A and B are shown apart, each in its own frame.
Chain A
Amino acid sequence: MSLKKLAIALVILALVATGAYLAVTVLQKKPEVGLSTASLSAGEVLALDPLDRPDAGQRAGEASKQTIRFLNRYYLLAMLRPERWSSANAASGKATPPAKALEALFTTDAAAAVEANVKSLALADLGDTLDRVVPTQQFVPRISVQIEDDGSVPFIVATVEFRANGIPKDDSDGKRYISIVHEATYWLQAGVEGLRIFAYQARLTADELTASNAFGVPQRFRERSW
C-alpha cells in the first residue's frame, strides 16, 4: 500500500472512531439537569350549556385553557419541585411552606383538609428522596365545563393523568428512578380570584407506595394507605 493510501485509510479510521466515540457519548449523556416544567394538555372538552347555544363550545374552550393554566400551577408546585418539599427547605424558613402554597389553590373549606391529605396531593414525603422529577405524561383526558345562562362558568370538572420519573438523590442501590403516577379528578370553582379546587379525588403512587384521599366525596370512595 502506498503511503498516500495509508494516510487516507488512517484518516478515515480516525473519523470513524471519532464518530463512534461521539455517538456513544451522546447516548450515554445524562439528561440535562434543569427544572422540569408543567405542560399539561387537554383531551376532550365538554360544554354543558343548559341553553345549548352555538358558542358554548367556544366558551368551554376558553375555560379549558384557563383550567390547563391552573393545573400547570398546581402540578409545578405539587409534583415538579421536590426540593420545595424537602426538610432542608422547611428548615430554612426562607420560602412559604409548600403545603401552605398549595392551600392557596383550594377553596377555604377544601384548603382546611390539604394538610391532612397532602400525601395524595403532592410529593410531600419524597422531598428528601428526590433530586428532581421528570414528567413523562401530563394529560387531562376530560374537562367538563358548566355554563350558566349568562355565559359565566361557575364549575369545571377535570380529570388528570400525570406520570413522571423521580430521580433519587441517592442511587447507590442502583435504582435509577422512582415511578410516579398521580391520578386525580378535580371539581374546580370559578371565583373573583380565578379557579380554586372545590373538591377532589386523588391517588398518588410512588413505586410500591400509594396514597389516596378525597374531599367532598362519599366515604365509600375514600381509602388511605401509605
Chain B
Amino acid sequence: MRSRTNTLASIALATGFLAAVLGASALSAKPADTALHRVEGAEWKPEAGETLFVAVLGSDARTGAADAKGGCDAIHIIAINPVSKAGTILNFPRDSYLPSPGGGSRKITDTCRTAGFEAAVDILRNETRIDIQYYARTQFSHFQSLIDELGGVDVDVPYSMNDSFSGAHFPKGSVHMAGGQALSFSRNRHDTPKGDFSRTENQGILMLATLRKFRTEAADWHRMLAYIRVARRHVNLTVPLNDVVKMGFLALEIDPASIQNVTVPGSTGQAGDASVVFLEPGDIYRRVADDGIY
C-alpha cells in the first residue's frame, strides 16, 4: 500500500504543486494563454519513484497568447521527488544566454519570443540534462485574477521593497498579497539586491507561498475540489484530470520547507549589443537531474 500511496502521492504532488504554481501563473479568460502540457514523448512513472520535473515559463505579454510577441520573464524548473517528499525550484534569469534553436546563442527570453515556449523548454532540457516531463506556460496579465480568486496568498517578503516600476511596496516579513500585489512582487527587479537574479528567486518564493496555501486549505477535500474548479477556470489542462487530482493529494504531503529555492548563479556581460547573463551552474544541474534535490 505504501508504494501505491507513494505513486498517488507522486502524481498528486505534481498536479497539486503545479496547480499552486499555475496559481502563480494565472488566468482570467480560459487557457490557450495559460496551459499545462506534457512534453511530447516524455513519460513520468511515479509508481517507480521517478522524480517529476516541470518547466514553468511566464510571459509578460500584455495581450494575446503567452508566446505572442512576449518573451519569457519567468523561467523555472520544478523538481519533486515523490519518495523523499522533497524537491527544488530552479530559477533562471530571463537574460540567460543559452544555445538557440537556429544555432548560435541568445537570451532565453528572446527564444520564447521568436521560437516559442516549447522551443525554450527544449533548450532547458538540453542545457540542464534534466528530463522535463511537463511544462506550464503562463501569462502575467492573468496572474491577478487567479490569485484573487484563491483569496490572496501570504508571502514571506525577504527584504523591504519600494519600486515604482513594478509597484512593489512591501515591508520585510509576511505580507498577505492580492493578485496585483503578487504580480508586483514577482516583477520587481529594480529594488532588489541582485536585480534579475533576485526577481527570479522571488518568483520561487511566490510559488512556495502558493503551495503552502494549497497545502493548508486543500486538506479539506471539499476545498481541494474547489481549487480544481479554479484551476479549470483558468488553465488549459491537457494532462489527464486523474493525474491532476492524484498530484493534488501528493502536494498535501510536501512541506514547502523541504523544497529548496535555488537560483542558477551567473555573471552579467555583453553578447554583441545585448546585455546577457552567462550562467555558472557548477554541479547544480547534475544534482537536481539526479533525484530532484539540490
Contact = CB atoms under 8 A, between A and B. Distances in A.
Contacts of B12: 216
Interface of A: 46, 48-51, 109, 112-113, 116-117, 142, 144, 146, 148-149, 154-155, 157, 159, 185, 187, 189, 198-199, 201, 215-221
Interface residues of B, number: 25
A60 B234 CA distance: 21
B245 interface: yes
B249 interface: yes
Interface of B: 1, 4-5, 7-9, 12, 219, 221-222, 224-226, 228-230, 232-233, 241-242, 245-246, 249, 252-253
Most buried by A among B221, B224, B252: B221
13 contacts: A48-B225, A48-B229, A109-B8, A112-B1, A157-B221, A157-B222, A187-B221, A198-B245, A199-B8, A216-B246, A218-B252, A218-B253, A220-B253
A144 B223 CA distance: 9
Given A48-B228, A144-B225, A157-B225, A217 B252 contact: yes
A159 B245 contact: no
A155 B225 contact: yes
Contacts of A215: 1, 5, 8
A49 B5 contact: no
Given A155-B245, A219-B253, 12 more contacts: A50-B233, A117-B1, A146-B229, A149-B232, A155-B225, A187-B221, A198-B245, A216-B5, A216-B8, A216-B12, A220-B253, A221-B219
Given A48-B225, A49-B229, A113 B4 contact: yes
Nearest to A149: B232
Contacts of B224: 157
Contacts of B230: 50
Q: Which 5 A-B pairs have the closest CB atoms?
A: A48-B229, A50-B232, A50-B233, A218-B253, A144-B222
A113 B245 CA distance: 19
Contacts of B4: 109, 112-113
B257 to A, nearest CB: 14
B252 A146 contact: no
Contact of B249 (A48, A50, A113, A199): A199
A173 to B, nearest CB: 36
Contacts of B242: 189
Q: Which of A159, A185, A187, A201 has the most CB of B within 10 A?
A: A187
A172 to B, nearest CB: 39
Given A155-B245, A198-B245, A221-B219, A48 B226 contact: yes
A216 B1 CA distance: 10
A157 B249 CA distance: 13
Nearest to B255: A220
Contacts of A144: 221-222, 225-226
Contacts of B228: 48, 146, 155
Residue with the greatest number of chain A CB neighbours at <10 A, chosen from B7, B9, B232: B232
Nearest to B1: A113
A216 B229 CA distance: 20
Most chain A CB atoms below 10 A, which of B222, B246, B249, B252: B222
Contacts of A113: 1, 4-5
Contacts of B7: 109
A49 B229 CA distance: 7
A146 B230 CA distance: 11
Contacts of A50: 229-230, 232-233
A24 B219 CA distance: 52
Contacts of B1: 112-113, 116-117, 215
